Amino acid sequence: MTILHETRPTVATAVVEIEHDGRWKPVCGYADLLPGRGVAVLLGAEQVALFRDRAGLLYAVGNTDPFSGSAVISRGIMGSRGAAPVVASPMYKQAFDLRTGECLDEAATPDGSPARLGVWPVRVVS
């Protein structure tokens, strides 16, 4: 579901947009994002974790960690597991596939709900 920008933006003024309720909403400057790190975005009542990887690709997933219930996914460390780009929750360290939101360590949380983050389309506009 995640839409990646096609060319690497070079303009310092490039803006990142996330699609929410059928509309593209600008959330921050591309330059505000540190490679390999995430930030949290507040969209209405929803929280999104937005990441930029070393190569410049962007991912947007839900910010709430299903295992702890805390909104902390954006503060996790990015990396890769095999071919999958992942973020590790800073709370109990489960890894989530940034493309699908799926947890790669456990299928369900201890209370039985699926261990999965939502995913949002994200793009960069110059």
Residue with Cβ nearer another protein (79 or 118): 79
How many other β-carbons are positioned within 10 Å of the β-carbon of residue 51?
A: 24
Exposure b/e, 76-106, CB count within 10 A at least 16 = b: bebeeeeeebbbbbeeeebbbbbbebbbbee
- Using CB under 8 A as the binding criterion, the count of chain residues that bind another protein stands at 37
- CB of residue 1 to another protein, shortest distance in Å: 21
SS3 20: strand
**Binding-site member from 14, 47, 56, 118 for another protein (CB under 8 A):** 47
Residues 61-90 that bind another protein (CB under 8 A): 64, 68-72, 75-82, 85-86, 88, 90
Among 95, 103, 117, 122, binds another protein (CB under 8 A): 95
How does DSSP classify residue 116?
A: B
Sign of CA dihedral 49, 125, 36, 108: positive
Where do contacts with another protein occur on this chain (CB under 8 A)?
27-28, 32, 34-37, 39-42, 45, 47, 50, 53-54, 64, 68-72, 75-82, 85-86, 88, 90-91, 93, 95
